[in-house]
Structure 1
């Protein structure tokens, strides 16, 4: 239920080795920073187009071919910005972000300890912390993937009356391939969405939802 393959097709992901041997998908986040530090040289590798006025801070930053970093974007290492990615003006890309090929980190979007699988998009005013976006996931403007419980404590998820502990105090959302979240939706800490889920705008989501789930706000 919580294996990476339950949420993502990793066959074409260049960095699929990050997931090797992982039983629970959230455990990938604990190894992400070390993986980036190991796989990216200490001296920053700039192969894409970094506009004048963009800020690259720290070491172990890889900007791959055809990636575009717009002026005013802030990127902190360790980090990989994959082939053909776009990081727009005003984006705040904090340490331990891995953006797969063709993904988009948009204006006023903040990322931290996060994985964007190929083609995923957080185009405007999103927060993606301690989270994984599957292939071709779309986050509408203002989407927040909250990663910290009110009052703190280990984040758990309940499925069919059984409680599962993630062992993490910070965990945002795990969002399966081809899911879409409408504008100003919120995923509470420890949200799990299977592939092809659809979340309507202004919806507050929590817990585990299997593939093809459609969620609307209570007033709909």
Structure 2
């Protein structure tokens, strides 16, 4: 019940090595910082990009190079559906990623894939990995050690800290995720909060078969299995594990613990 395979299908996840040799589903969070460090290198070293200073122009990331995009024609369609297109001097730049003017980078170790859109007002702190065709929308805040898969959305005023998004996971509006994992095709309703710190000191513990299992983590948010959803203004308590195909209804606080596949939490 608490294995990686009981929560996630990793067949198409680019960074599935992070999940290797993990006896429990929360163990990848223990390995996340070291893994991201091993998979990123200084990237955004353009002379016109300064830590903490909003970009004064749009830039594109294409074929391993970052360059100014003032002369490009950009169509800002839905990046998750391949709608982001870039043309330069009549040439279509397939897979080009776009950093809009006003985006803020802090640190250089930020790996972005193909067809990524980073909108104005987003702040990304290194290190981070952002997969192909994902959107980091206006006002989003990635606080470091964030691993975002393919076709994901980190939306308006959504804060993500030390967390993992598997492919097609979306936190579109006013969300908070701390020390959490979202499975494939998980959708968080507006205002969802995944709390990660208990009121009382000590590690987060989970009960299985009447036995308390120590996760070894002082901070653990939510682990939400594939194809699950939360309603607007839902909250998960620290150490909430929802199995695949589950629902957390609007305005509901999920209690800590393990909730099996196809749970409906009201």
TM over 0.5: yes
Aligned to 2:99: 50
TM-score (norm 1): 0.95
- What is the alpha-carbon distance in structure 2 between the residues aligned to residue 72 and residue 26 of structure 1? 31
Aligned to 2:12: 12
- What is the alpha-carbon distance in structure 2 between the residues aligned to residue 132 and residue 15 of structure 1? 13
Structure 2, unmatched stretches of 5+, are 46-60, 63-96
- What is the alpha-carbon distance in structure 2 between the residues aligned to residue 152 and residue 98 of structure 1? 27
Distance 1:44 1:36, change over 3 A: farther
Cα offset, 1:109, TM superposition: 0.3
Contact 1:131/1:174 (<8 A) preserved: yes
TM-score (norm 2): 0.79
- What is the alpha-carbon distance in structure 2 between the residues aligned to residue 35 and residue 59 of structure 1? 16
Q: Residue 29 in 1 paired to residue 79 in 2?
A: no
- What is the alpha-carbon distance in structure 1 between the residues aligned to residue 163 and residue 152 of structure 2? 12
Aligned to 1:165: 214
Aligned to 1:110: 159
Cα offset, 1:159, TM superposition: 2.7
Cα offset, 1:72, TM superposition: 0.2
Any idea what the Cα deviations from partners look like across 1:94-145, whole Å, max 9, x if unmatched?
A: 1000110000000010001100000000000100110000000000000000
Match of 2:223 among 167, 170, 174: 174
Q: Residue 92 in 1 paired to residue 137 in 2?
A: no
Structure 1, unmatched stretches of 5+, are none
Cα offset, 1:151, TM superposition: 2.4
Cα offset, 1:33, TM superposition: 1.4
Cα offset, 1:88, TM superposition: 0.6
- What is the alpha-carbon distance in structure 2 between the residues aligned to residue 60 and residue 2 of structure 1? 32
Q: Residue 129 in 1 paired to residue 178 in 2?
A: yes
Taking only aligned residues, the RMSD between alpha carbons, in angstroms, comes to 1.1
- What is the alpha-carbon distance in structure 1 between the residues aligned to residue 238 and residue 199 of structure 2? 9
Bigger-Rg structure (1/2) = 2
Aligned to 1:210: 260
Deviating beyond 6 angstroms after TM superposition, the runs of 4 or more aligned structure 1 residues are none
